[in-house]
Amino acid sequence: MAPKACNSALEAIRTWKWIPGTARREIPSQGCRYNLGKKRRMTERDSRSFTFPRALIEYQLHVIVQALFDAEARISATPIVQTARKDAPAVREALISYPTILKVEFRGSRAVSRIIGSLAGKYVERLGDANLEDAAVKCVFGAYNHHGQVCFSTERNYVIRSVADRFMECSRQKRRSSRLGVPILKDSPSKLKPSRSKGAKFVFGSSTFKD
Q: In terms of pTM, does the model score above 0.75?
A: no
Which residue ranges make up each domain of the chain?
1-81, 83-124, 132-180
* Inter-residue contact 16 to 37 (CB < 8 Å): no
Position 175 scores a pLDDT of: 86
Position 210 scores a pLDDT of: 46
Mean pLDDT in residue range 152-170:
88
User: Which of 96-100, 108-112, 146-150 shows the lowest mean pLDDT across its residues?
Assistant: 146-150
Count CA atoms closer than 13 A to 120's CA, side-chain side: 13
3-state secondary structure of 41: helix
b/e code 30-49 from CB counts within 10 Å (16+ = b): ebeebbeeeeeebbeebeee
Mean pLDDT in residue range 50-72:
63
Would you place residue 150 in the very low, low, confident or very high pLDDT band (cuts 50, 70, 90)? Answer: confident
Position 136 scores a pLDDT of: 92
